[in-house]
């Protein structure tokens, strides 16, 4: 997206699936954390972090569209996961789900392992910051 720049200084490790920094000019849009739920809010695929990731990233895409943003407008994405080992084990499928929504756009990102999320069946929550130009 025009107006969004990514920065990956050569002095830092080569990023894989993210950028070290992103910047944009325009209106900042903060997107609430999205989980692997259906429209009613019920968590789907209990115990399957990759499947929940697919739903959560899809829900994030819907929230982006609802705020008149595109995935390429995202400058920061944060992943909250309850089990990093399960996330790593499902990384191939998770990558496929990610690319289905974001393509090859890799904003600055952080993954944090947390003790739990609001819904005890939720294994992942994804929040983002976008810049709408």
For the chain, the domains span 35-132
In this prediction, residue 1 carries a pLDDT of 46
- Cβ neighbours of 14 (radius 10 Å): 7
Instruction: Please compute, for residue 28, the number of CA atoms within 13 A of its CA located in the half-sphere on the CB side.
Output: 8
pTM reported for the whole predicted model: 0.88
Tokens linked to 128: 């983002």
Contact of 52 with 125, CB cutoff 8 Å: no
Local mean pLDDT, 10-residue blocks, the chain (133 residues): 78 88 88 94 97 98 94 97 98 98 96 98 98 88
82 vs 50: CA distance, rounded Å: 12
DSSP assignment, residue 13?
P
Distance separating alpha carbons of residues 7 and 123, to the nearest angstrom? 30
pLDDT for res 69: 93
Cβ-proximal residues to 50 (8 Å cutoff; 6+ apart), any chain = 90, 93, 94, 97
Looking at residue 37, what is its pLDDT? Answer: 95
Superfamily of domain 35-132: RutC-like (3.30.1330.40)
């Amino acid at each position: 997206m025009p107006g969004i720049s990514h920065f990956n200084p050569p002095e830092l490790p080569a990023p894989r699936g993210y950028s070290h920094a992103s910047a944009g000019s325009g209106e900042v849009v903060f997107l609430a954390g999205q989980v692997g739920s259906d429209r009613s809010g019920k968590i789907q695929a209990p115990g399957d972090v990759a499947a929940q990731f697919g739903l959560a990233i899809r829900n994030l895409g819907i929230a982006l569209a609802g705020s008149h943003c595109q995935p390429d407008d995202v400058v920061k994405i944060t992943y909250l996961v309850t089990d990093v080992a399960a996330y790593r084990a499902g990384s191939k499928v998770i990558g496929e789900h990610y690319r289905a929504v974001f393509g090859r756009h890799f904003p600055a990102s952080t993954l944090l392992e947390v003790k739990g999320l609001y819904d005890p069946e939720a294994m992942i929550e994804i929040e983002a910051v976008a810049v709408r130009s």
